[in-house]
Every structure is written in C-alpha cells, then in structure tokens.
Amino acid sequence: VIAQKTARENGPKIDLQILVYPVTDGRMDSATWKDETRQLFLTSELMEHFWRHYADDEQLTDPEASPLLADDLKDLDGLAPAVVLTAEMDILRDEGAAYAKKLEEAGIPVTYKDFKRQIHGFVGLAEALPVGFEALDWVSTRIDAHLNSVDHFDAVIVGAGFSGMYQLHRLREMGLNVRVFEAGTDVGGTWYWNRYPGARVDIESVAYSYSFSKELEQDWVWSEKHATQPELLEYANHVADRFDLRKDIQFESKVASAHFDDDMNEWLVTLENGDAVRARYLIMASGVLSASKKPDIAGYDNFKGETYNTGQWPHDPVDFSGKKVAVIGTGSSGIQTIPLVAEQAEELVVFQRTANFSTPALNRTLSNSEIDAVKKNYPEYRTECRKSRLGAISPEPQLDRAMEATAEERESRFNTGWETGLLPSFFFAFGDILTDEKANEAAQEFIRDRIRGIVEDEQTREDLLPNTHPYGTKRPCLDTNYYETFNRENVSLVNLRRTPIDTITEKGIKTSDTEREFDAIIFATGFDAMTGPLLRVDIRGSKGQRLIDAWVDGPQSYLGIGVSGFPNMFTINGPSSPSVLSNMMVSIEQHVDWIADCIGWMNNNDKTRIEPDRSAELQWTEHTAQMADMTLYPQAESWYVGANVPGKPRTFLAYVGGVGVYREICDQIADGGYYGFEAS
Ligand code: N01
C-alpha cells in the first residue's frame, strides 16, 4: 500500500518492496483462504479478526487496504520492484501470488517464490523450521542483487596459486570471462606464503612443473633437484607474465562468502571488503595446505618477542643472528627450517611433540646434460607421471612383499632409498610398506638406525627416534642436515611428550619442568588441511545449505571435485581426491583440465547447472574410506585424518588409489556423459 501510495502521490522513492506472505485482498474469498487444509498457524477466522480491527466493510475493498484491488498500477510511475514470498500451505498464498502476478502484468520487475509445503509464519520460525533460513537467504540474496549492481562472470576462481593460475588460463582460452580473487599481493599460493628459510619442494623440480605448454616446459630451466621457494615463486611469476594472467586476477581480495542462487543458477561471491560479483561457476583453487592453524597452545598471545609462522612468513628477510630462537613443530616445515635457523641463531631450542620420519633430500644442482635429457623426453616423462601412483616416476615402485625378501635384500633396498633422496623411495622399496605392519616396521627400524648413527647426544638421539606411527602415515619429510643439526653446540631439543608446554609467557615458553626465555618463537605447527581452506569461506549451496553443516561429520565429495547440494562448484584437489598424496602439479593439471572440459560440455549442451547426485557422492566417499582402511594411514594422529585440529571430524582426507587409476575413473565418468552428476 505504501509503495503504491508514494508512487501515486509522488512521495519518497521506495527502492524495493519485500512482501513476505502479504495480505493484499480484503475480500477474503480466495481458494486458499477457504481451504480447510490450510488453516495452520494462521486461520481464516483469526485473519478475519485482524482485518476487522483494521478496516470496516467499505474499507475492506479500498486499494489503500487491499493493494490487489488497485486498478491503476500500469500508470504508476516509479512503483518499486518487488520481491514476493508466499508459503504454499498458507491461507494467504493465493492473494500473495495474485499480487505478484498483477505487479508483473503492470511491468514492475517482480521476483516471486512460493515455498512449497510451508505454513504461514515459517520465516519467523527459522530456528524450528530450518527452511526459514533458506527463505531469509533467498530474500537477502535478492536484496544484495538489487543493491549491488554486480559484475557477472562465467567463472570465479578463488586463489591464484598453481591451480588457480592454470584454471584461469584454460577457461580464458575457451573464451570465458573469468575473475580470480587472491588474498595475497601476487601469484604463487603456497610458494607466496611459505617463505621460511629452507622451504623447498620435495618432489623433483622437473616433475613439479606445468606440462600444459611445451614452450614453457622447454624454456624454463630448473637449477636444483628440489627447487627452493624463491625459485618456485619466480616460476609462478614467469608463468603469470608469460600468459598475461594478472589482468584477470584481483589481488588483496579475500573471499568471505559464496552463496548459490537457485533461481539464477549462479554464485554470489562476496569479498571481505563487501564487494560482490556473480558467476555461473565457482572454482575453489584455494589450496589444501593454505589455512594456517592457530596453535592450540595456552598463552599463545602472551609473548612479547618476535613471533613467526612458517605458513605466513614475512616478505622481508628475517635475521636471527645473535638471537635465542624457539621452533615449535617438527613436520616438513619445521624440519626444513630448523637447520638454517640453527646456522644463524645464537641459540635454537626445538620443541618436538612427535618425532617424525625424515630422510635426506640429497639436494644438488642439476647439470645441463640432466636437464637436456629430461627435456628431450618430456612428453613421455609426463605421460608416465600421469599414469603413475604418485604423479612422479622415480624411483620405480617395486611390487614384491618386504617380509618375503631376505634381511639383506631389505637392507639393500632401504639403503638405496636412503641414498636416492626422493620422497617415495621408502614407500616404493616394496609393494606393501603402507599396507603391512611388519614391512613398515622394517622400514621404520632402518630409518631409526640411521638416526642413531647420526645424533651424538644420547638423550637427544632417543627423543628424535620416531616410534608413534608407521612410516609414511604422517607425511614423511625430506631434509638437509636435520639430524646433524642436533650435534651443534647451539641447538637443543625439548621432548614435549616428557615435558609438555604449560604456557607461552611474555618472555618465552614454560614447560612442565622449566621456563626458557627467547627473542623469537617460530610456529611450524601446521595447517587445517584440505577442508580448512574451503570451510573458512562461508559457502552456501542450494537452498541456503551451508558447506560447514553438510560436512559436519567430515567432508563428502564426489571425486573430490564436486559436492552434492552445491551446484556449479568445483574443488581443485578437494577432499577424497589424490591431492596431498601426489605430485600436486600432476593432480592440479588433471583437475583443471577435467573441470574445463566439464564446463565446455555444459556450454555445448545448453546446461546451466551441474552437481553430483547424492548416491554417487556417498559411494565415492565410502570407497575412499574403504581404500584408506586397507592401508596403515588411519593409524596415525596426522593431519591426513584431521587429528591435528581439535574437534575436526576424523576421516581420511585423500584418495589412496593413485593418480593414474583416479584419472582413468574421472575420464570414464566424463566420457559417460558425467555419470553420477545431474546436469540440467
Ligand atoms: O605441518 P605439520 P607442516 N604443541 O602438521 C606440531 C606440506 N609441506 O607445516 O605431530 C606442540 O606436518 C606437530 O606435532 P604433532 C607437507 O605435506 C611440504 O610442517 O601434531 N607441537 C608437528 O610436529 C606437510 O606434511 C613441504 O604431535 C605442535 C608440527 O607442529 C604439510 O605441508 C614443506 C602443536 C606440525 O607439522 C604440513 O607441514 C612444508 C602444539 N600445540 C610443508 N601443534 C615440502 O614440499 C602442532 N604441533 C617440502
């Protein structure tokens, strides 16, 4: 009534009218009004009682009481666009629907939705009837769409690491209009954030690189067997320049939320600064080890000295000369950084909760002839990597059983593993290292023996021996002089299993036996892996369903690429894909290509909405878990199962079947018309 009146009398401009099960017709005679089955919560009798308070007989049909009965809507300049919501089981349903239709016929933009099987008042009862949240979300999305005249894209990609960069390139080549949002100031993802001293890739550089461009592959020269973080970042920058990627990447733009709009089959993506865009596809290229975990240590904020987190290292060099430094955490990050910090600091104390398995990286510069040989053979090399289990082909996996070999044979193979300096060399020494406890124990004992042979101090040596989990079930590490570092005068180890941390204090760290003072503390305490980067964005799918609710018992995903109820969303290296168990570059390229092909297929077939069907998703999730249960992986308290984040549901987060097998499955699904997905 007010919207009509201000338009009629040239009053204040109303921008948008939001009518929630509106009362529009004082005649009280619509079909729903009279329907016996709709007398729920609001009855006709009660509604008539309200009407009678408001209007006498004559006024009931006055358009200033019953806006449906106005006959001049077509002539009203400036009548506000409307959002109209009704509930199917409401006596007011028909008059709300009739008014929406009438406005529309008068040329007023109207968005109308009838919420099926709902009763009058359901929006206000959202706590009891969660569909109310869906309705609120629907209304707020309409308001957002109205207030923000937002840009539209074919796809939004979250993250400009190696996956986001290549996805942008692929989709742009297909002629799509794409926007990438990146929280950092430049490209590189993992290699942009993890700038701690000693950071390197522990897959061979020649394998950990893009294969999509033959020219790039031939032009780029890796200097070392395991490239350093600066070299990897330089590579990312080179790729961004070479393919002119930055023009479609918006930096310093952290995505806060992504809400799916069922009516438009689009995502509304909102940044932390409130800016928003809409896109048909949402591609989460947000990384798997990118959500740093705030350490669950008492007094974390007390310390007055310098603090560093390996996952968010400063861009300017940090100088530890003359300083007393603590490192908490002995995963890959801690183990890589400890030897370098030790060389600089006056004193270094390492706080270790779990001793980890680490073997020497044996890093070295690559010779020209080695590089030439790989480049000559790159197409075959890449094909082999794609077909392999881990996405890297050296060393060659052996398939026989460890305990059927002689002790000498085991010793010899493990020795070769130790001397190749390649991450999978122990997994691949025999076919059953990750499935047979005895085989694994043999590998463990070999490594423990080597550690015993390196570390001089008796107590430190004992404390460094890993004995809480099978080899490989926590991500094993490759190091350069890690164990040797504990022979230095200025380095000591605190075993937190014997003397746990009580609290961090203003000056240092207090363990159960003593307090130590430091100038700097380095937290190498890990990440909320795999699901963290997805759940830190407020993602809401169809009908307002939140991803965080859908995954309350652990992630469920079809192929680690799509999630049922979250249409048009793709996750690169998502949970239940090989991702962290593989050479990430191989897995990234495979997902990016698959997603690009899928979007191409959608466009060619005039489809605008795709999502996994629930049964396919459940089957895949179960299959992933069953595969993991055939291995020793679930035995460790690792980030692979979410054990490092208090309260995180325990599920094994990756697909153990290997990248070759996985690729075949994904290809067959695509070839079969995206079997297990519903596209419309
Ligand atoms: O993290 P982590 P990361 N009090 O979770 C300890 C990849 N990566 O950053 O084992 C005391 O492995 C925790 O102890 P515990 C790679 O996939 C790759 O090192 O939980 N200690 C553990 O020792 C890797 O696996 C590369 O008992 C606490 C450490 O912190 C993944 O990233 C390089 C603690 C965390 O280890 C993560 O590695 C670096 C607490 N409250 C990383 N909380 C390369 O490619 C945690 N810890 C080479």
The Cα 194–Cα 198 span in angstroms is 10
pTM of the full structure: 0.83
**Contact partners, residue 583, CB within 8 Å, separation at least 6:** 203, 207, 208, 385, 390, 391, 392, 659
If one residue of 293, 328, 332 were mutated to test the ligand 1 pocket, choosing by the most ligand atoms within 8 A of its CB, it would be 332
Ligand 1 center to residue 334 CA distance, Å?
7
Which tens digits make up the pLDDT trace of 80-136?
999 999 999 999 999 999 999 999 999 999 999 999 999 999 999 988 888 999 999
| Residue 162 Cβ < 6 Å to ligand 1 | no
Which residues 6+ apart lie within 8 Å of 81 measured at CB?
16, 17, 108, 109, 110, 146
CB 202 less than 6 A from any atom of ligand 1: yes
Terminal C-alpha separation, the chain: 39
Question: What is the per-residue pLDDT for 210?
Answer: 98
Q: Is 100 in the pocket of ligand 1 (CB under 6 A)?
A: no
348 lines ligand 1 (CB under 6 A): no
Neighbours of 460 (CB within 10 A): 17
Give the span between the Cα atoms of 522 and 327, in whole angstroms: 5
Residue 523 alpha carbon to ligand 1 centre in Å: 9
CA of 329 to the centre of ligand 1 (A): 6
Q: Which atom of ligand 1 is nearest to the CA of 496?
A: 11
Cα 420 from chain centre: 33
Strands (E), 446-495: 477-479, 491-495
What is the pLDDT, as a whole number, of residue 536?
A: 96
Residues in the chain predicted with pLDDT less than 50, given as ranges, are none
639 lines ligand 1 (CB under 6 A): yes
- The confidence score (pLDDT) of residue 471 equals 97
Q: What is the rounded radius of gyration, in angstroms, for the C-alpha atoms of the chain?
A: 30
Mutational pocket test of ligand 1: of 191, 353, 495, 499, the residue with most ligand atoms within 8 Å of the beta carbon = 353
- Residue 499 Cβ < 6 Å to ligand 1: no
- The long-range contacts involving 94-98, CB below 8 angstroms and separated by at least 24 positions, are 94/30, 94/31, 94/32, 94/33, 95/22, 95/23, 95/24, 95/25, 95/30, 95/32, 95/33, 95/68, 96/19, 96/21, 96/22, 96/24, 98/24, 98/25, 98/30, 98/68
Contact in structure between 291 and 284 (CB atoms under 8 Å)? no
pLDDT in tens, 587-622: 999 999 999 999 999 999 999 999 999 999 999 999
β-strand pairing of 266-271 with 255-261: antiparallel
Length of the chain: 680
Ligand 1 center to residue 532 CA distance, Å? 15
Q: For position 633, what pLDDT does the model report?
A: 96
Amino acid at 259: H
Rounded distance from Cα 168 to ligand 1 centre (Å): 30
